[in-house]
Amino acid sequence: MQIIINSAIILATLAGMEAFSWFIHKYLFHGPLWFIHKTHHQHRSGWFELNDVFSLLFGATSMYLIWEGKSNLDFKFWVGIGISIYGIIYFIFHDWFIHNRLKSFKTENSYLLGIRRAHKIHHKSTEKNPSEEFGLLLASKKYFKQSNQSSQ
């Protein structure tokens, strides 16, 4: 039974991270924290950008929760694991697949192509506003419809 509870905590954390990330991306990163996030909307000359500080903060939060919950594997441990898994997904989807920080892989998958298209639309603007599509794993249906049409 405990494995089901722990798995549920991890899945709830993943869903919560997507919602939380969307919210802070839209209202904080494209709001008062734009002075940091704008480095992500500009051409990058090196491997890192100031915006990466947000990933470090999420990683530190995850490590703290895992550390605090490790002695009895309480909910903090599993929330920390969920945040870590979201971070791995973020790296694979966002940094590797969408922004090609590593050599990108090719795909014909309509979901992945729709996510990539939505994120490229988000980056059309190099300014704080206007902007759209703030999620990582979820995007408007219109980007998936375009993906299906373009692959036919």
Which residue, chain included where needed, has tokens 């729709």?
114
Task: Tell me how far apart the alpha carbons of residues 38 and 144 are, in angstroms, rounded to a whole number.
Answer: 27
What is the identity of the amino acid at 30? H
> Which pair of structure tokens corresponds to residue 124?
């059309």
Residue ranges per structural domain of the chain = 2-108
Task: Tell me how far apart the alpha carbons of residues 73 and 21 are, in angstroms, rounded to a whole number.
Answer: 25
Residue 127 makes CB contacts below 8 A (sequence gap 6+) with 41
pLDDT digits (tens, 9 = 90+) for 22-35: 899 889 988 999 89
Buried b (16+ CB within 10 A) or exposed e, 18-27: beebbebbee
pLDDT digits (tens, 9 = 90+) for 56-102: 999 999 999 999 999 999 999 999 999 999 999 988 877 777 776 66
Put residue 103 in one of left, alpha, beta given phi > 0 → left and psi -120 to 50 → alpha. Answer: beta
Model pTM score: 0.80
What is the identity of the amino acid at 45? S
What is the identity of the amino acid at 57? L
